[in-house]
Amino acid sequence: MNKIALLTSLALIGLGLGACQSDANKVAQAENELKQAYAATTTNVQNPEDKQVQEYLESTPALYRVSWKVCGDDKLSVKLKLKINKGCNETRNEPTEGYTSPAYVWADAKEIKFVNKRHFVDNLQYTGLFVKSRGCLNLGTPQQEKFYKVEEFTLKKGNDPLPSNVKLELVSQQEKKQVLKEAIAQAKLENNSLTNFGVSSNGLIPIGKACPTIEEWQEEP
């Protein structure tokens, strides 16, 4: 129904409201038809971006949120916020200064693993947090099920984080849609930044592969 037809229906309903009681059913029917027509006009018109998100939502497996709190991280980005986060690398669903966003992985995420790798400083070690899944959301599409790294910490040797510091949560379908919309927007921003400036959107040059497997991470320098 086009706009003129909608306005015509509105006018008819307005006239019907002043009719006698015997016409009440006709008025109710006209109102119902108008609601259906309006719903059709709003649902049939879908912009390309919304359509892209909807298709992505329906074609991908479940999404899990990975949250953590690991203290004693010697990473520069954490140390600079020492007064705020007390030296802890900690996620928040809506991050504020000193905290980071959680990671998102595809499919059933039920197993985590901390893996250590030698650091160039003798008393420090790199510790990767790996989640068994079908890969990270930032890879774009689900991958083969393996352990994928969602975060890396720089810790003193012998200061291993405990698995209890990690939480895995299934994301609802409604929240998944919002996460995907934000991920698509961020991917466009990141691609533009890398293409035009050669650096990430945070101003840093990307090092290593995003969301590597344990084997790929161990091979990195």
Residue the block writes with tokens 């959107």: 201
- Residue range 23-78, pLDDT digits in tens: 566 656 656 665 565 555 444 556 777 888 888 899 899 999 999 999 989 988 89
Task: Note the residue count of the chain.
Answer: 221
How confident is the model at residue 102, as a pLDDT? 96
Could you tell me the two tokens for 79?
A: 């140390």
Task: Please give the Cα distance from 209 to 57 (Å, whole number).
Answer: 25
Task: Please give the Cα distance from 43 to 56 (Å, whole number).
Answer: 18
Across 32-171, where does the E strand assignment appear? 63-71, 88-90, 103-106, 112-118, 124-133, 146-156, 166-170
How confident is the model at residue 23, as a pLDDT? 59
Other residues' Cβ atoms within 10 Å of the Cβ of residue 129: 24
- Residue range 109-135, pLDDT digits in tens: 889 999 998 887 888 989 999 999 999
Other residues' Cβ atoms within 10 Å of the Cβ of residue 139: 15
15 has a pLDDT exceeding 50: no
| Residue 6's pLDDT band (cuts 50, 70, 90) | very low
Tell me the average pLDDT of the chain.
79
- Of the listed ranges 20-24, 30-34, 196-200, the one predicted with least confidence: 20-24
